[in-house]
Chain A
């Protein structure tokens, strides 16, 4: 694929959420959410209506006219999630989305992902070191040194899945430590 085609794929088929939010500081929350459709040159009324719905859906409606510098980390990340979903991507790629957040904001972002999955049918592909965040996933691939170590699929409750995850992590981290 050439650069043009890659850009189109990034814009139409993929959604990105980054650890450091990557919001444009000169744009308001609402304008940031609109950005993917602005790049795609989509019709304005539909774009504004969709962005407005996302603001309400992710609980950021009251801060829609604020700038990134004026909102919290959780609100920034929810804005980033809303922005990532604007073009209804096939996959939402999230790179350590909770890495910079406190527990309350972390929960809010996870809720936003769940909502995206539930209401928009989005597939969320998340890279994380946070087992709490990973426990909300349906399927977790555990990597070790760039190789797949194991794969887990959630069957029971989230808590049970988290225990299962922690067990794997214990296995991972425990090796070679017995002597210490």
Chain B
């Protein structure tokens, strides 16, 4: 029997510990490697604009993800070292040289880390391909987004594996530095009891959790609406009471204050005492799990919001195709559109076109001053906005609009909620930019349409037919626009047709119309008269291939299917990141809970032995163990999910003081995800319970 044979036998007997650590390293490297292969691959790198926000955000989120992975691997290594400490101590007590043991430990650790890392990197390739294919299936399916492998992703993955190896090495070094044999051999941990917890801390904690969230989210909004000033970023400190609330609630659960019901108190006494004995570390650990679950749900909710922004939505009062362009422009004709549709087998429905006028408006709006205040201002003859005659509205949308002379209706998108800047009733006068004819107008209400509001800033207005004729008499073609709107029989299947039409539209456009969305000819002329520089002058690089011009180009065609696909492409990276963070935070929380559960059993082996000797039968001991483990899983699970739900609920409400249908739907989905997360926790609980029973019973 040689030393290496002894060690091999020990490894064989304790392969579960090695497997657990190897799995965590493998999972970490796999997650980061697969992500890096995707993100640093040529496809995403070519797609994302250089130096853009998406890149910054992606790198930031990836950094956070890497930290999460490193934490859960290090946490798993603690369990490994705990097991090793006993073996180590016995060898030391038997006279083995510490140097030999250290060498043995680092040899084992490095072979474990290297093999698990290599396996993780190797599996990362098919996994990243598979996830990409999944995203292609649901999100992106264009030629530019074909999966391509790049060396940079590999290097990043390998770099992460190296950092992880170093971190585990540091953890190992800290472990071997402990030279006290008795300390190593002692399996019972140090008492970490907390002082008596005052009874008020539980209700205080329960109140502080939502209060902190509401204050941190609500104060910046209240500051803007009530005081007319932006709140300083220091208001984020209001999240601290929420975290403190979580800590207090958990401390009460762990510390277990004396219950008034004495029978219940004694019934739970042993289980409570076990947790109370390690109160500090148990509370800290549960607190981290709650925050991880919160981050996990937050990432999921964020991903849902991104995903929603790329969907076609309800298409209520919205046409699939809409265009507007200066009247003098030579764009595609009705015949060309119908011919193209026929070529692509698309059936056009409800085709309508008419002209509208850009009139000079005097209106009330909100200005943001240099000292950070929001002030209401009346701007006379400030800019132009698109005006439709009642009959044009009816022709384009097929819907009636009741507008009396001297009044106007503001066109808003379905489900629109007014913001602090613009007010639907802000307009009070309109004027002809050529003749100067002007008319006082009064607000009588709004009209809903999905396409028209996107054609003019701040709004599109509908006025009485006679008022329109009076105001536009003598107006030149410079100030009128042509609007075309229609639907197709199968919007989802009309992407090739829409792309061709899009290209045709751009090819027919003259270069001087390639202006920014907020460009206003009237404003530019006034600026030139005053000798000032106009902020929105300059032309965009508009090409038939560039479909990223929504919210950029003033006359961009509003082809919903193109728009939706483009948004999906640009958000797919975000959705992917959010899903990754969701997976990683959940995995971290699961590993931490698993390790905690197993530690409860291994740390309290003697306690269960005492209970057995005192006459506690197996069912009582099982019950004590079960209630102990259930607490570790239930409370952080429920609290983490509740905090996540409260946050999303408060955030959605505070944003615009209402819940939109999409927010309600997402909230429902989040609820289902919470249930799935809790079921996942339950599955781990069952596994831990089985393993823990093997240890203590």
**Distance from B275 Cβ to chain A, minimum over Cβ atoms (Å):** 8
Q: List residues of chain A with CB within 8 A of the CB of B612.
A: 7, 10
Question: By the criterion CB–CB under 8 Å, are A26 and B273 in contact?
Answer: yes
Compute how far the CA of A81 lies from the CA of B285 in the bound complex, rounded to whole angstroms: 36
Residue interface bits A135-172, CB-to-B below 8 A is 1, else 0 = 00000000000000000000000000000000000000
Question: By the criterion CB–CB under 8 Å, are B615 and A39 in contact?
Answer: yes
Q: List residues of chain B with CB within 8 A of the CB of A79.
A: none
A117 is an interface residue with CB less than 8 A from chain B? no
Residue interface bits B603-630, CB-to-A below 8 A is 1, else 0 = 0001101111111111110000000000
Question: By the criterion CB–CB under 8 Å, are B266 and A7 in contact?
Answer: no
Question: By the criterion CB–CB under 8 Å, are B607 and A39 in contact?
Answer: no
Give the residue name and chain of the B residue nearest to A6 (CB). Answer: B617
**A-facing residues in B265-324 (Cβ within 8 Å):** 266-267, 269-270, 272-277
Residue interface bits A7-24, CB-to-B below 8 A is 1, else 0 = 111111010101000111
Q: Which of B263, B269, B614 has the most CB of A within 10 A?
A: B614
Compute how far the CA of A8 lies from the CA of B619 in the bound complex, rounded to whole angstroms: 12
B270 CB contact (under 8 Å) in A14, A18, A27 = A27
**B-facing residues in A19-57 (Cβ within 8 Å):** 22-27, 31, 34-36, 38-41, 44, 47-48
- With A24-B607, A25-B277, A26-B276: A47-B266 Cβ-Cβ less than 8 Å: yes
Give the residue name and chain of the A residue nearest to B256 (CB). Answer: A26
Compute how far the CA of A27 lies from the CA of B265 in the bound complex, rounded to whole angstroms: 12
Q: List residues of chain A with CB within 8 A of the CB of B276.
A: 26
Question: By the criterion CB–CB under 8 Å, are B273 and A11 in contact?
Answer: no
Question: By the criterion CB–CB under 8 Å, are B263 and A44 in contact?
Answer: yes
Give the residue name and chain of the A residue nearest to B263 (CB). Answer: A44
Question: By the criterion CB–CB under 8 Å, are A22 and B610 in contact?
Answer: yes
A125 is an interface residue with CB less than 8 A from chain B? no
A120 is an interface residue with CB less than 8 A from chain B? no
A24 CB contact (under 8 Å) in B263, B270, B275 = B270
Give the residue name and chain of the B residue nearest to A47 (CB). Answer: B266
B191 is an interface residue with CB less than 8 A from chain A? yes
Q: Which of A14, A44, A47, A48 has the most CB of B within 10 A?
A: A44
Question: By the criterion CB–CB under 8 Å, are B617 and A31 in contact?
Answer: no
Question: By the criterion CB–CB under 8 Å, are A44 and B613 in contact?
Answer: no
Compute how far the CA of A78 lies from the CA of B615 in the bound complex, rounded to whole angstroms: 19
Question: By the criterion CB–CB under 8 Å, are B615 and A11 in contact?
Answer: yes
Question: By the criterion CB–CB under 8 Å, are B616 and A7 in contact?
Answer: yes
Give the residue name and chain of the A residue nearest to B609 (CB). Answer: A22
- With A10-B614, A22-B610, A67-B191: A39-B273 Cβ-Cβ less than 8 Å: no
Main secondary structure of the interface of A (DSSP, over half): helix
Question: By the criterion CB–CB under 8 Å, are A24 and B273 in contact?
Answer: yes
Question: By the criterion CB–CB under 8 Å, are A26 and B193 in contact?
Answer: yes
Main secondary structure of the interface of B (DSSP, over half): helix
Give the residue name and chain of the A residue nearest to B273 (CB). Answer: A26
Compute how far the CA of A3 lies from the CA of B613 in the bound complex, rounded to whole angstroms: 12
- With A24-B270, A26-B274, A26-B277: A36-B615 Cβ-Cβ less than 8 Å: yes
- With A44-B263, A69-B191: A27-B610 Cβ-Cβ less than 8 Å: no
**Distance from B604 Cβ to chain A, minimum over Cβ atoms (Å):** 9
- With A39-B611, A67-B191: A8-B266 Cβ-Cβ less than 8 Å: no
Question: By the criterion CB–CB under 8 Å, are B615 and A31 in contact?
Answer: no
**Distance from A117 Cβ to chain B, minimum over Cβ atoms (Å):** 21
Question: By the criterion CB–CB under 8 Å, are A27 and B269 in contact?
Answer: yes
B613 CB contact (under 8 Å) in A4, A16, A34, A38 = A16
B15 is an interface residue with CB less than 8 A from chain A? no
A38 CB contact (under 8 Å) in B193, B266, B610 = B266
**Distance from B287 Cβ to chain A, minimum over Cβ atoms (Å):** 20
B262 is an interface residue with CB less than 8 A from chain A? yes
**Distance from A104 Cβ to chain B, minimum over Cβ atoms (Å):** 25
**Distance from A54 Cβ to chain B, minimum over Cβ atoms (Å):** 15
Compute how far the CA of A157 lies from the CA of B611 in the bound complex, rounded to whole angstroms: 39
**Distance from B137 Cβ to chain A, minimum over Cβ atoms (Å):** 53
Q: Which of B193, B274, B611, B613 has the most CB of A within 10 A?
A: B613
**Distance from A88 Cβ to chain B, minimum over Cβ atoms (Å):** 13
**Distance from A65 Cβ to chain B, minimum over Cβ atoms (Å):** 10
Question: By the criterion CB–CB under 8 Å, are A40 and B266 in contact?
Answer: no
Q: List residues of chain A with CB within 8 A of the CB of B620.
A: 7, 39
Give the residue name and chain of the A residue nearest to B274 (CB). Answer: A26
Question: By the criterion CB–CB under 8 Å, are A38 and B615 in contact?
Answer: no
Compute how far the CA of A38 lies from the CA of B620 in the bound complex, rounded to whole angstroms: 11
B615 CB contact (under 8 Å) in A40, A44, A47 = A40
Question: By the criterion CB–CB under 8 Å, are B269 and A31 in contact?
Answer: yes
**Distance from B455 Cβ to chain A, minimum over Cβ atoms (Å):** 70
Residue interface bits B241-268, CB-to-A below 8 A is 1, else 0 = 0000000000000000000001100110
Q: List residues of chain B with CB within 8 A of the CB of A36.
A: 614-615
Q: List residues of chain A with CB within 8 A of the CB of B614.
A: 10-11, 16, 35-36, 39, 83
A22 CB contact (under 8 Å) in B274, B613, B618 = B613
Question: By the criterion CB–CB under 8 Å, are B615 and A24 in contact?
Answer: no
A31 CB contact (under 8 Å) in B273, B610, B618 = B273
Q: List residues of chain B with CB within 8 A of the CB of A38.
A: 266-267, 269-270
- With A3-B617, A40-B615: A34-B266 Cβ-Cβ less than 8 Å: yes
Give the residue name and chain of the B residue nearest to A21 (CB). Answer: B610
Q: Which of B263, B277, B610, B616 has the most CB of A within 10 A?
A: B610
Q: List residues of chain A with CB within 8 A of the CB of B277.
A: 25-26
**Distance from B106 Cβ to chain A, minimum over Cβ atoms (Å):** 34
Compute how far the CA of A18 lies from the CA of B611 in the bound complex, rounded to whole angstroms: 13
Q: List residues of chain B with CB within 8 A of the CB of A41.
A: 267
- With A24-B607, A25-B191: A10-B273 Cβ-Cβ less than 8 Å: no
**Distance from A29 Cβ to chain B, minimum over Cβ atoms (Å):** 12
- With A38-B267, A48-B262: A7-B615 Cβ-Cβ less than 8 Å: yes
Compute how far the CA of A12 lies from the CA of B617 in the bound complex, rounded to whole angstroms: 12
Q: Which of A25, A47, A48 has the most CB of B within 10 A?
A: A25
**Distance from A126 Cβ to chain B, minimum over Cβ atoms (Å):** 16
B262 CB contact (under 8 Å) in A18, A26, A44, A67 = A44
Compute how far the CA of A9 lies from the CA of B191 in the bound complex, rounded to whole angstroms: 32
Compute how far the CA of A87 lies from the CA of B274 in the bound complex, rounded to whole angstroms: 23
Q: List residues of chain A with CB within 8 A of the CB of B262.
A: 44, 48
Compute how far the CA of A12 lies from the CA of B277 in the bound complex, rounded to whole angstroms: 28
Q: List residues of chain A with CB within 8 A of the CB of B607.
A: 24-25
Q: List residues of chain A with CB within 8 A of the CB of B269.
A: 27, 31, 34-35, 38
Q: List residues of chain B with CB within 8 A of the CB of A69.
A: 191
Give the residue name and chain of the A residue nearest to B606 (CB). Answer: A22
Give the residue name and chain of the A residue nearest to B268 (CB). Answer: A38
Q: List residues of chain B with CB within 8 A of the CB of A7.
A: 612, 615-618, 620
Question: By the criterion CB–CB under 8 Å, are B266 and A44 in contact?
Answer: yes
- With A25-B277, A35-B270: A10-B615 Cβ-Cβ less than 8 Å: yes
Question: By the criterion CB–CB under 8 Å, are A4 and B274 in contact?
Answer: no
Give the residue name and chain of the B residue nearest to A34 (CB). Answer: B266
Q: Which of B277, B609, B613, B615 has the most CB of A within 10 A?
A: B615
Q: Could you name 9 residue pairs across A and B whose Cβ atoms are closer than 8 Å?
A: A3-B617, A7-B618, A8-B617, A9-B615, A22-B609, A22-B613, A35-B614, A39-B615, A44-B262
Q: Which residues on B are within 8 Å of A, measured CB to CB?
A: 188, 191, 193, 262-263, 266-267, 269-270, 272-277, 606-607, 609-620
**Pairs A-B, 10 closest by C-beta atoms:** A11-B615, A26-B273, A7-B617, A26-B277, A10-B615, A22-B610, A27-B273, A44-B262, A39-B616, A38-B266
